Amino acid sequence: MADVVKYKLADRLSLIEESSTIKMSKISRELKEKGIDIINLSLGEPDFDTPEHIKSGAIAGINNNFTHYPPVSGYLDLRKAIAEKFKRDNNLDYQAENIVVSNGAKQSLMNVILALVNPGDEVVLPTPYWVSYPEMVKFAEGIPVFIHTDFEANFKVNPDQLREVLSTKTKVFVFSSPSNPSGAIYTESELRALAEVFKDFPNIIIISDEIYELINFIGAYFSIAQIPELFNRVVVINGVSKAFAMTGWRIGYMAAPLEIAKACDKIQSQFTSAASSIAQRATLTAITTSYEPTYEMRDAFKHRRDVVVNSLRGTPGLNFNVPDGAFYLFPEVSYYYGKSFNDRIIHNGDDLCMFLLEDSRVSLVAGTGFGSKNYIRISFAASEQDLIEACNRIKTSLAKLH
């Protein structure tokens, strides 16, 4: 029998936590593999398949021998098309040299944070945030600084809150709109009000995560990069995973001032080099052809949102807003803390999610990983039948807690 080796792992591993969304998805998958009837509402993934015409774009890429190393930042025609997308959809003027294509929007975010954040730099994050933001900051040895919001404020930061936390130590501000996990979308007037504060802090870079841009139930979308005074201080993150049902293709992209784009290209050249050549060809098809399949998915998500909202509305102890975008409901659940069933006491959102997983066989994610300990996240990226059944199971289990 081989000797047991005690490995000395890098200290940086102690700086970060495992992704709570991936953790719950893993638990759910393992239970399903055992034959347990789990309805998984923990995933941040469309349940639709990639549209056929996008798959055809990938097949054409294979047939046309796009099977060699692409440029690190992505094929030139794709980067030009992404720049044209920004002009067409967002009235933003970028060139191909401002675009970096990466292995998912997560890598785009990590590239930017590594390119900007030095040890000790502060990065301001409104809560709830996407689970990876603070972990990325800590990995870069930066210091996350939080602005707390709640459902009564529709999970949006106001100018007074922003001004209170910004300082000469602040290097970066990161937010998402539409938001994961709350579904909140900042309006043009709200972003212009925040811009007035940012004008007094000219050295702060703003990272605007717009991956859910096209899963938007309220109409026109406004990016903070559209404010002229901020344009050269904004890095826009986007990709095709959510809006085009292309999670497995692993393509994200960023648009940034040239110096930042070059820095991200340099970092990516040493980590992964370019993203998949075939996935890039599929992405080119996705963003240069009709968005109609995306709009059909968006409308389906809106209908599913309404199904979940109507099913859970009036449930004692669940307080929530109707989300304007993305595919999540983010209810406040502290009413259940301190309650119990069969001597099992619910102390926090993690306890509640584990209780619901075991009692109702529905997988959800606690708000703790999003920086909002009194909340849970419910994904409605599932079939209507599963959503109705899941909501009924959740209500039945919650009613057992006293």
Residues 350-396: tens digit of each pLDDT = 999 999 999 999 999 999 999 999 999 999 999 999 999 999 999 99
Same domain, residue pair 90 and 27:
no
Reading the block at residue 6, the tokens are 């005690």
Residue 3 maps to a domain: no
315 and 348 share a domain? yes
Q: How far apart are CA 3 and CA 94, in angstroms?
A: 57
Q: Which of 288, 315, 339 is the last residue of a domain?
A: 288
**Same domain assignment for residues 39 and 113:** no
**Which pLDDT belongs to residue 112?**
98
Q: From CA 209, how far away is CA 237, in angstroms rounded?
A: 5
Asked whether residue 2 is domain-assigned, the answer is no
Residues of the domain holding 198: 68-288
Contacts of 214 (CB under 8 A, 6+ apart): 242, 243, 291, 294, 295, 298
Q: Are 379 and 42 spatial neighbours (Cβ–Cβ below 8 Å)?
A: yes
Query: Number of structural domains, the chain?
Result: 2
Would you list the DSSP string of 268-306?
HHHHT-SPPHHHHHHHHHHHHS--HHHHHHHHHHHHHHH
Could you tell me the CATH number of the domain that includes residue 338? 3.90.1150.10
Confidence of residue 157 (pLDDT cuts 50, 70, 90): very high
Indicate the residue type of 243.
A
* 21 domain residue, yes or no: yes
The reply to whether 122 and 220 lie within a common domain is yes
Banded pLDDT at 2 (limits 50, 70, 90): low
Which residue type is seen at 110? Answer: M
Let me know whether 122 and 251 are in one domain: yes
How many CB atoms neighbour CB 393 within 10 A? 17
- 37 lies in a domain? yes
Q: Are residues 276 and 303 in the same domain?
A: no
Share of the chain above pLDDT 70, in %: 100
DSSP state, residue 323: P
Q: Quick one: tokens of 257?
A: 């001032």
In this structure, what CATH number is given to the domain that contains residue 272? 3.40.640.10
User: From CA 79, how far away is CA 89, in angstroms rounded?
Assistant: 15
DSSP assigned state of 216? B
Give the tens place of pLDDT for each residue, 227-260.
999 999 999 999 999 999 999 999 999 999 999 9
**141: nearest Cα among 168, 107, 116, 109:** 116
Residue 115 lies inside a defined structural domain of this protein: yes
**Domain final position from 245, 272, 288:** 288
Position 1 in a domain: no
User: 249 and 172: one domain?
Assistant: yes
The distance in angstroms from the start CA to the end CA of the chain is 52
Question: Within this chain, do residues 282 and 381 fall inside the same structural domain, yes or no?
Answer: no
Asked whether residue 327 falls in the same domain as residue 279, the answer is: no
**Do 277 and 303 lie in a common domain?**
no
pLDDT digits (tens, 9 = 90+) for 256-299: 999 999 999 999 999 999 999 999 999 999 999 999 999 999 99
- The pTM assigned to this predicted structure is 0.95
Q: Which of 367, 370, 362, 296 is nearest to 337 (CA)?
A: 367
- Binned at pLDDT 50, 70 and 90, residue 1 comes out as low
pLDDT digits (tens, 9 = 90+) for 316-352: 999 999 999 999 999 999 999 999 999 999 999 999 9
User: Is residue 255 domain-shared with residue 118, that is, in the same domain?
Assistant: yes
Sequence-distant (≥ 6) Cβ neighbours of residue 152 within 8 angstroms: none
Domain endpoint, select from 268, 288, 308: 288
- Residue 85 falls within a domain, yes or no? yes
User: What is residue 95's DSSP assignment?
Assistant: -
CA atoms of 402 and 389, how far apart (whole Å): 23
Angle at 190 between CA 167 and CA 135, to 5 degrees: 50
Same domain, 126 and 45: no
**58 located within any domain:** no
